[in-house]
Copies of this chain bind each other. A is one copy, B any other.
Amino acid sequence: MSDRSARRGRDARRTAREKSGAVSKLFITRNVPLLELASLEALEMVEANADLILEEIGIEFRDDEEALALLKGAGADVKGTRVHFPKGLCKSLLATAPAEYTQHARNPARSVQIGGNHTVFAPVYGPPFVRDLDNGRRYGTIEDFRNFVKLAYVAPAMHHSGGTVCEPVDLPVNKRHFDMLYAHMKYSDKPFMGSVTHPMRAQDSVNMCEILFGKEFVDQNAVMTSLINANSPMVFDGTMLGALKVYARANQACIVSPFILAGAMSPVTALGTLAQVQAEVLAGGALTQLVRPGAPLIYGAFVSAISMQSGAPTFGTPEPTLVISAAASLARRLNLPFRSGGSLCASKVADAQAAYESANTLNATVLSGVNFALHAAGWLEGGLSSGYEKFVMDCDQLAMMQRLSEGYDLSDNGQALDAIREVGPGSHYLGCAHTQANFETAFIRSNLADNNSYEQWEAEGAQDMPMRANTLWKQWLNDYEAPPIDPGIDEALNAYMDERKASFPDSNV
């Protein structure tokens, strides 16, 4: 194939992609009401219990004298590393956090709005393993990492490039953040997350963003949304506090997020879990505002449960759904954006278990009005594995949720009375004018569902969904074209990384 015909092919594909709305759906703006499962009585009960936890039991802030000093200065009662908060203190400190914010992408057309009635989908975060049908399960590499960045870039309903889409285990632990961050910057122009595994790595993330966006722009605008996990129950450790301070000081968004497997890190009941989550977020969130009032903050809650029989994590069950929905309400009552949910599952493979569990979680996520949905695609095996097939299968579902959130068309065309008059009793709508006029947009079209006849499906090899997904992700990677990046910026990013990498030895801690 000549260069020219290859380019023509690419152009045609790009046109097709743009026509399919790839760039037009930047994030979800819901046009349907929220699912709020918890009553006002339940929410007020949780808030009172969280106040009690903060005041009576207190929260541990470990290995961070600066954090303790800031909290003490604000009126908290600090005894060693235990911080007790007088009633109402945290909430009043949180008043400076914005109810919603724009996270800027290097391509301004890709910037996302986080909070309010918006939902932003971001890929799976954190798995050390990857899985695909051809090679099974194996440790992730930087090549896998780049592949997932590319898939998230191509996926029309994926709004965000995410963070650790898989661990690039082939790179040294103390330097892989450079290559991960660079992959998001270079191979995508969607917004992304910064490193949190060490305060210095958070600072590297800020520094690289200053190269990409400009120093002043970064100081005045959120260009990263990063994940600060609490060590539940009721502990923040020095690593996370250090990263939190770096990001808050740089005016970058922190998700303060208890990581909860109920029964292990929280009580086995929904209300007990919620009170603890609320207390942890209030405490950690307050610190962001002490570091820099107005720094963007997301109320986070990663919530699932464990099997009481084996202790193993479970996903997609009803108890986390109850927690997600109520926590979303609690975050709204604090005027904070909310992070939770995703497409979570315990299944090792992209089978029916994975899909039931993921769909249950995703329905709860979207209907409850989660604003930032991490792990929205690719999550397998309780987060131990990033699945290639699972990634594109989940993306198909994200598109469904985007459509659902658009709600009802109340226009004359939506009411379709003319169609009903035209067709009348006993006929059909297959060829009527209204159907023809709405042909392209009437129903969302799945990339992966097989709706053909049994006979046709069998003739085409009786493929199940993962087999079709295997074809699709390869096609997406094949069709992928890198978004242009300013060569000077690219060079500066590489120079920064080279210099920093050379300045300290490799290490795997």
Contacts and interface: CB of A to CB of B under 8 A. Distances in A.
Interface in A286-328: 305-314, 316-319, 321-322, 326
Instruction: Count identical subunits in the complex.
Output: 2
Given A233-B429, A266-B429, A272-B414, A444 B319 contact: yes
Contact of A326 (B367, B408, B417): B408
Interface stretch (A18-26, A195-203, A343-351, A479-487): A343-351
A234 interface: yes
Interface in A345-368: 346-360, 363-364, 367
B326 A263 contact: no
Contacts of A358: 356
A57 B275 contact: no
A268 interface: yes
A55 interface: no
A76 to B, nearest CB: 15
Given A57-B420, A307-B443, A430-B264, A450 B348 contact: yes
A400 interface: yes
Given A322-B407, A322-B408, A462-B348, A32 B41 contact: no
A135 interface: no
Contact of A429 (B263, B381, B442): B263
Interface stretch (A45-53, A98-106, A118-126, A208-216): A45-53
A415 B397 CA distance: 35
Nearest to A448: B353
B57 A424 contact: yes
A429 B381 CA distance: 23
A249 interface: no
Nearest to A307: B451
Interface stretch (A86-94, A142-150, A431-439): A431-439
A419 B267 contact: yes
A503 interface: no
A465 B352 contact: yes
Interface string A403-429: 110011110011111011101111111
A235 interface: yes
A445 interface: yes
Contact of A457 (B38, B269, B348): B348
A353 B351 contact: no
Nearest to A396: B356
A317 B448 CA distance: 12
A445 B267 contact: no
A222 to B, nearest CB: 30
Given A49-B415, A359-B359, A414-B270, A275 B420 contact: yes
A436 to B, nearest CB: 10
Given A45-B410, A428-B265, A442-B263, A360 B400 contact: yes
Contact of A404 (B32, B322, B462): B322
A393 B429 contact: no
A221 interface: no
Interface string A360-403: 10011001000000000000011010000000010001001101
A49 to B, nearest CB: 6
Nearest to A311: B430
Interface in A21-35: 32-33, 35
B268 A314 contact: no
Given A352-B465, A359-B363, A410-B41, A420 B319 contact: no
Interface string A245-275: 0000000000000000011111111111101
A156 interface: no
A42 interface: yes
A276 interface: yes
A283 B37 CA distance: 35
A391 to B, nearest CB: 12
B351 A426 contact: no
Interface string A449-462: 11111100110001
26 contacts: A32-B37, A32-B322, A38-B408, A42-B408, A49-B415, A57-B420, A58-B425, A231-B426, A262-B443, A267-B416, A267-B429, A269-B414, A271-B409, A271-B415, A272-B415, A307-B445, A317-B403, A317-B444, A318-B404, A349-B462, A350-B352, A351-B351, A352-B355, A353-B449, A356-B465, A359-B363
